[in-house]
Amino acid sequence: LDACRVECHEWKWQAGELRKEQEAIEHKLQALTTENARMFGDNAALRLENKTLEQVAARHVDDKFQLSEQHANERAEISEKFKNEISEMSELKERKETEICELKLLVGLHAVEVLEARTLLQDRCRDLVALEAKMKDKEDQ
């Protein structure tokens, strides 16, 4: 009977130790559960922040692409505008060169007309001098 009492006392002592150990384990489990929940919340917040950052980055890339495309379009428009202006200036230059040639031709024609008129005038002056000379001869006779 004494042996049973000693054994029973030993089991009670072991049961008490096991309860203490179980309480420590439950306390540690509670702390780990709380830490796990906090980490889960942090993880969810980080995922949301990451998604937001990805969206911001995607918008930034889109904006940059649109600006790049806009600049390319503006450069193309400016280039086209300069090409058109150069073409217009070339056409204007050709027209002006044609006008200059036409004016030179007109000046040449007028010079010919002036020479013809001068020759005609000289011929008339000779005829007039000759006529005056004849008239003087007739008067003298």
pTM for the complete prediction?
Answer: 0.43
Cα 73 to Cα 10, 22, 65, 79, 86, distances in angstroms: 91, 74, 12, 10, 20
* pLDDT surpassing 90 at residue 141: no
- 94 CA to centre of own chain: 34
Distance CA 118, CA 61 (A): 83
pLDDT value of residue 110? 94
pLDDT value of residue 140? 83
Residue 82 corresponds to which amino acid? F
Q: How is residue 122 annotated by DSSP?
A: H
